[in-house]
Chain A
């Protein structure tokens, strides 16, 4: 991961205006608060021959995630834990969810569990799940009953 800031002042453009506004820190300006009741948030997508699951896992690496698939479901689990020095007493504000989590998803069609692959990067887990080939209808030609000697 490329580091920004820390020494060089790249991402901060700052203007020294009247630094008189002293209000309580922090004050929210705008924007909808995300629901923290569910962690992690995920999106399920579908194409003709596959499903894709995109899971938001900020702060987690691939080794922190356990993924299990069956023919029609997947279970992802893991833990996001606070560093020991980040005790609650030293925090002024705690909104980010921490703890052990697990989510199970039932898919609306069967998948080939052997063909499932997953990638993780920048706090996003992407899972690709190919659908099982549907059993296609096959036309069967009806033949005449063969009349064998002695049968009639």
Chain B
């Protein structure tokens, strides 16, 4: 969302609550000065402190007991505040002059928005623009950032800040976001802040507690680890043991990988069988009639009782082959897999399944690497009428902007080289369009899925090599562009979940 013009801004009070004794620096003069310079004067600074505060008619002092915790101080600040909108800032944060007016206008323009967060600039780092509300990403990192504004009623409804030392505001965001009518991103940098210190042992324990409770309250899952850098490895749980149909189209081609010739589909299937921890799956191999007959026997030997073959005799059509494979499959979940992949992470299928089982999930995609250990795919992004892969050609191990290559998150789409999709969604979306036999068929499918109201996800915990050559002929036929853009050009200008330029390269950290 973007802010309406200041002339549309109604009178409204924003309370900025700070607890300077708990800040890196108790000096909040820079914050106060940035407030004094606001275009709109509908703000108050609530200082939860027993020390003397600067004399200013918009500074409100909230008394806190001696030895109070941060949670107690912040709650005292809320109690002493009069605003209908509450923000909790660090004393060292500095607001842009238009921050308050933009916030007020954004709340005024969206009656159902209970939480609004903005982009931010961290000293010494490039600005990483934030995605629209991404609840699955939120369980992996507190990506909202410093300027997170709440309607007062929501703070009251969740009974304020809880005693979770070091994770108070993350916990508040987790709990409040599940109760909010809407959570909105306000595009644009409204605040500058210093880099935060890493989480200490107490904060890590609090974070684990907050996340554990959050997962339990939102469909289940578990916290594998919490990170000092604010990136937390949390997983949704796989519900039941649904049958997964792994649909692989193949011509039975061979290629050289790391100096050795291999039949690609054979090694792809072998890697699935050898490495996958999830067990309830079947292979549906859609195989060209010109493929060497020995491939079938090899595949049957690798995956006995799990493999069925569907013969394809028509002209090349990835879409047609995938659709044919699906109608011959039985799985509640469909796993699209190219024949030139190799599984890396044993939990890959479980990670994809868990996301594809979320309510209103459309599909879930994976982290794919080229043979040279650069990233091929970390989600789809659309940017100025271009369609591309997030992370393309960045180094394996790169964290990406705001650690986004390390967290499960919402995306606009994902490549069908490896993706899981609920069967009923596939049929509701009409499968892969046969109008696009070679290129953009997965983009089109993602667009259809999104247009039906389903959400796409991406996980870094499903890692595979995709031996698609970087030098693959990228030629695209005019009719393919005309078809894909004819349908979706209006959606290809920006990505809701990746507002940054997706072509940026990132080095390993």
Q: Do A and B bind each other?
A: no
B interface residue numbers (CB < 8 A to A): none
Q: Which residues of A contact B (CB under 8 A)?
A: none
